[in-house]
Amino acid sequence: MTITENCPNEFIEIKESPVHGKGLFAKKDIPEGTEICVIQGELIDEAECVRREDDENNNYIFWHSDENYIDVDKNFLRYLNHDCDPKCYVEENDDYSLLLIAEKDIRAGEEITIDYDYDEIYEYCNCAQCREKRKVV
């Protein structure tokens, strides 16, 4: 079921996700290397990032550079879920934005994911690789 929410992008739609809550899904086939979208939001510093994470439980923040973060809490990118075998990666675009790029071919209907790449996420990740790691520990 597609969620009726503003998702101004030719490649992406928001749907219920088997990973977590809602997710971003490919509306059509996306070839490897395609720039899927620009990641934009409020540019904040590290202190404000920590405050929002701690005080507001805001987890929709992308690291941009040594001193800056992008808060996407108010746009559709908050539905970009984690996967240890991601379909996409993020790279710097300019001083105010990042790019979401297809790491591999993505077929229409597949969930668009990234590796959040911070230690705490692996404690909660439900992929086979993370479940196996938690058994070993």
Q: What's the CATH number where 33 sits?
A: 2.170.270.10
Residues in contact with 8: Cβ distance below 8 Å, sequence separation at least 6, in sequence order: 76
pLDDT tens digits along 9-57: 788 999 998 877 888 999 999 999 999 988 888 888 888 888 887 887 7
Residues in contact with 114: Cβ distance below 8 Å, sequence separation at least 6, in sequence order: 80, 82, 83, 86, 87, 88, 89, 90, 100
Structure tokens given for 67: 């001193």
Nearest Cα residue to 25 out of 82, 86, 17? 17
Residue 109 forms part of a structural domain: yes
pLDDT band at 7 (very low <50, low <70, confident <90, very high): low
Count how many domains the chain has.
Answer: 1
Domain with 123 in it = 12-40+75-136
Q: 66 and 124 in contact (C-beta within 8 Å)?
A: no
Q: 86 and 54 in contact (C-beta within 8 Å)?
A: no
pLDDT band at 82 (very low <50, low <70, confident <90, very high): confident
Residue 79 forms part of a structural domain: yes
Q: How far is CA 13 from CA 25, 54, 60, 106, 116, in A?
A: 5, 30, 18, 14, 20
Q: 60 and 92 in contact (C-beta within 8 Å)?
A: no
Residue 101 forms part of a structural domain: yes
Residue 68 forms part of a structural domain: no
Residue 6 forms part of a structural domain: no
pLDDT tens digits along 53-74: 788 776 666 777 777 888 887 7
Residue 95 forms part of a structural domain: yes
Q: What is the DSSP letter of 106?
A: B
User: What is the strand order of the sheet 81-82 is part of?
Assistant: 12-16, 22-26, 111-114, 81-82
Residue 61 forms part of a structural domain: no
Structure tokens given for 110: 């597949």
Residue 70 forms part of a structural domain: no
